[in-house]
Amino acid sequence: MKNFIQDGDTLTVTAPYALLSGAGCLVGSLFGVAVSDALISTEVEIKTSGVFDLPKAGSQAWTVGARVYWDDTAKNCTTTASTNKLIGVATAAVGGGAGETIGRVRLTGAFTL
């Protein structure tokens, strides 16, 4: 097929802010996880699909299958929809204690609205 470009699970974007490898990255309505460190306004590859341990709001308990959103202000995952972008679903339950700040997320691999 002549018009196929790539699978799209890894994309090159311009970093909207400084990123460390493994950090969440929202570019417009596209969310992914940085493959490497990047300075603001430099190119970086992001993974748009897969399962990742990502920072989460410590005050929230998650259940398996709960919708997970990206809070681009706090730079963490949340189960609060509000103005946040849907990025995937929780694949493991996690408590809502202040110290429970990592959640396992399966990315949707699609753009968010």
Regions of the chain short of the pLDDT cut 70: 110-113
Distance CA(105)–CA(74), nearest Å, equals 17
> How many of the other CB atoms lie within 10 Å of CB of 95?
11
Question: What does the radius of gyration of the chain's CA atoms come to, in whole angstroms?
Answer: 14
Q: What's the pLDDT score for residue 1?
A: 85
What is the pLDDT, as a whole number, of residue 7? 84
- Among residues 64, 65, 61, 72, the alpha carbon closest in space to that of 101 is found at 61
Q: Where are the domains of the chain?
A: 10-108
pTM of the model: 0.91
